[in-house]
Amino acid sequence: MARSSSPARLVVALSVAAVLAVFLLYTSLAGGGTPSVSPSELATKTGEVSLAGRVVGTPTGDAHGGGLRFVLEDIQGKDKQRVAVVYKGSVPDLFRVGRDVVVTGTQRADGTFVTKPGSMITKCPSKYQAAKT
Partner 1 sequence: MAELGRAALIVTFGLSVYALVGGAAAAALGRRRLALSARNALIASFFSTLVAALVLVAGFLRDDFSLAYVAGHSSRALPFAYKLSAFWGGQEGSLLLWLLVLTGYAALAVWFARKRARDLVVWVTPVLAGIAVGFGWLLVAVSSPFDTIPTPADGNGLNPSLQNPYMVAHPVLLYLGYVGLAVPFAFAMGALLSGRTDERWIVTTRRWTIVAWTALGVGQLLGAHWAYQEVGWGGYYAWDPVENAALMPWLAATAYLHSVMIQEKRGMLRVWNVTLVSLAFCLSLFGTFLTRSGVVSSIHSFTQSAIGPWFLGFIVVAVVFSVTMIWLRLPQLRTTARLESLVSREATFLYNNLLLVALCLTILWGTAWPIVSEAVRGEAVVVGRPYFDFFLRIFGLPLLLLMGIGPLVAWRRASLRGLTRIFAWPAAVALATGVALIAVGAGSSVPGLIAYTFSAFVLATIVVEFARGTAARRALTGESVPTAFSRLVGRNRRRYGGYVVHASVVLLAIGVVGSSAYDSVVEGKLARGQSLSVGGYTLTYRNLTEKDAANATEIRAVLGVRRGGDSLGTIQAGKNAYSVEQQVSNEVGIRSDKLTGEDLFVIAEQVNDDGTVFFRIFVKPLINLIWLAGIVFVLGSVITLWPDAREERRLATRYATAGERRERSATT
Is 17 a binding residue for partner 1 by CB under 8 A? The answer is: no
Q: Give the whole-angstrom CA distance, residue 67 versus residue 37.
A: 22
Q: Give the whole-angstrom CA distance, residue 59 versus residue 120.
A: 14
From its phi and psi, is residue 94 left (phi > 0), alpha (psi between -120 and 50) or beta?
A: alpha
Is 21 a binding residue for partner 1 by CB under 8 A? The answer is: no
The single residue among 56, 84, 102, 114 that binds partner 1, judged by CB under 8 A, is: 102
The single residue among 46, 47, 78, 131 that binds partner 1, judged by CB under 8 A, is: 131
- Of 110, 101, 116, nearest to 48 (Cα)? 116
Is 126 a binding residue for partner 1 by CB under 8 A? The answer is: yes
Residues making contact with partner 1 (CB under 8 A)? 2-3, 6-8, 11-12, 15, 19, 22-23, 26, 30, 32-37, 50, 52, 62-65, 90-91, 93-94, 102, 104, 121-131, 133
